[in-house]
Chains A and B, each alone.
Chain A
């Protein structure tokens, strides 16, 4: 067969692969999982990508009260009875870049693309995989 045929075939596959590699992050955003921690302990996880309507989550622990608003694709601290209200003013977060932290009440909301119930990596020996 003509060499040109192969070059075109490989070129097309390379281009398609490269293209999808660049498009992938836009096409399929990772499933967005919100992890809510109190006192460093994982209290609850909410999958924001499968959420269809807003959901309020109340965290009450002794005197500390936090109301979290989970919406499709984003999450925010709706209210907190902490003195500084920094977490409420931070507004909504959509990426895992900055977590919402309510220091006085020791509540943290983190976003990650990975479901903690799923393996986040499949580790294999540096052999043949």
Chain B
């Protein structure tokens, strides 16, 4: 069974990396840094539901590190790491407290935390507090994209949740 999990982790890393790199190629939706679909979060949510926290962290770490290599943007590594892991941490805690059917809300909160964390890093790195003017627009998009990915996972969980658990057991 160990091999099965390992393989799944590898596949999930590959998928999230592919989504991440593809997203980086898309033209920005708005002239605001940080507004993007955030579909790679789908994989994080999936692993949160069906894998252990440790495996989830490893998948996320591998995705972020490899993502920086593939998009040739090591400068954004700091943003990705803080945003990604704070988001993951929040989602972990919330999933502990809440029911699995609240995954869509967990996802939206996680996305908002993700954007907030990156904004704080941006303010710290550039030394300008005025980047917080971006907060409202980033929160709006955080909620919208978070809800979208959250509902995707929610539907998956409803339809294939048992089968996935059975596959992994």
Contacts and interface: CB of A to CB of B under 8 A. Distances in A.
Interface of A: 1, 3, 6, 9-10, 13-14, 16-18, 20-21, 24, 28, 118-119, 122, 124-129
Interface string B126-160: 10100101011101100100010000000000000
Nearest to A119: B126
**Main DSSP-derived SS at the B contact region:** helix
B72 A125 contact: yes
B117 to A, nearest CB: 11
Contacts of A20: 136
Given A18-B136, A124-B33, 6 more contacts: A13-B143, A122-B33, A128-B24, A128-B76, A129-B33, A129-B79
Nearest to A7: B105
A127 B128 contact: no
B20 A14 contact: no
A9 B102 CA distance: 13
Contact of B24 (A6, A13, A17, A125): A125
Contacts of B143: 10, 13-14
A129 B131 contact: no
Contact of A129 (B20, B76, B99, B137): B76
B28 interface: yes
Contacts of B80: 127-128
Contacts of B26: 126
Interface of B: 20, 24-28, 33-34, 36, 64, 67-68, 71-73, 75-76, 79-80, 83-84, 98-99, 102, 104-105, 108, 112, 118, 122, 126, 128, 131, 133, 135-137, 139-140, 143, 147
List the 3 shortest-distance A-B pairs measured between CB atoms, nearest first: A17-B136, A125-B73, A6-B105
Given A10-B147, A128-B83, A129-B76, A122 B122 contact: yes
Contacts of A17: 135-137, 139-140
A129 B122 contact: yes
A115 to B, nearest CB: 10
Contacts of B108: 6, 10
Contacts of B105: 1, 3, 6, 9-10
